[in-house]
Amino acid sequence: MANELALARMGLRERKKFQTRRRLMATALELFAERGFDKVSVAEIAEAAEVSKMTVFNHFAGKEDLVLQPVEEHTRDVAQALRDRPPGESAVAAVRRHYLTAVEERDASIGLDGEPLVVQLTRLIIETPVLLTRAQAALFQSSELVAEALTEETGDPVMARVAAAQLMGTRATLVHENHRRLLLGDPTEEIARDAELLGRRAFDLVERGLGDYATRQP
C-alpha cells in the first residue's frame, strides 16, 4: 500500500528511476540469497539485471547500499518529526505519534511490510554481520540527530542525550519486535494490530518515567 501511494505521487521520470532501483535491489537480493553477500560482485548484479555496471553505480554507491540505502533514507525521520511538531506537543508525544502513524501506514521502515522483497532484505541484514553493523550505525546516527534537535531546544546536551536514548531505544525495541515476527511469518495485519498496542504502552511508560516499574517483591 505504501509503495503504491508513493508511486502515485511520482512523475514519470521518478517512477522509472524507482522501478530501476527496485529491480536492481531484487536482483541483488536474489543473488545474495543464493550465494551469500560476500560472494557476489556489483558486475555480477549488473549482468543478472541486464544493465551496465555504471547503471548500478548511478543508483547505488556500492554493494552494501543495494541493501541498506532504503534503511538509511529514514535516518533523519524522528529528528525531523521533533522539529516539525506543533507548539505544546512534548518530545515523547511527537515520537509516539510518528511511530503510530508509521504503524497505521504499514511502513516498511518499521517492519510492517510483508512484501517478499522487504522480508528478504530484513533477513539478509540480520544474518550478514557487515550489514548489521552498518544498520546499527544508522540507528546510532538517528539517536544522535534526535539528541541534536533536543539540544537546540533545551540547551542541555546531557539531558538531551538521555532523552534521545530513551526515545530511540524504545522505538528500536518496538521495530525489532516487528521484524522478529515478520521473519517468523506472522500476518502483517496481526503484527500491526499488536504494534499499535505495544507502541502506546511503551511510550506511555517513557512518558511516565520508570518510577516503580519492576520493583522487586519481598
Q: What is the mean pLDDT of residues 81-91?
A: 94
Domain of 49?
2-62
pLDDT value for 218: 78
Does residue 67 sit within a domain? no
Does residue 217 sit within a domain? no
Residue indicated by cell numbers 540527530: 145
Q: What is the pTM of this model?
A: 0.85
SS3 60: coil
Burial class (CB in 10 A: 0-12, 13-18, 19+), 183: middle
How far is residue 87's CA from residue 105's CA, in Å, rounded to a whole number?
Answer: 25
Does residue 145 sit within a domain? yes
pLDDT value for 1: 39
Query: What is the tally of structural domains in the chain?
Result: 2
Residue 205 has pLDDT above 50, yes or no: yes
How far is residue 30's CA from residue 48's CA, in Å, rounded to a whole number?
Answer: 10
Same domain, residue pair 196 and 130:
yes
Same domain, residue pair 98 and 135:
yes
Segment 29-44, tens digit of pLDDT = 899 988 989 999 999 9
CATH number at residue 14: 1.10.10.60
SS3 211: coil
Segment 31-78, tens digit of pLDDT = 998 898 999 999 999 999 999 999 999 999 999 999 998 889 999 999
Amino acid at 48: A
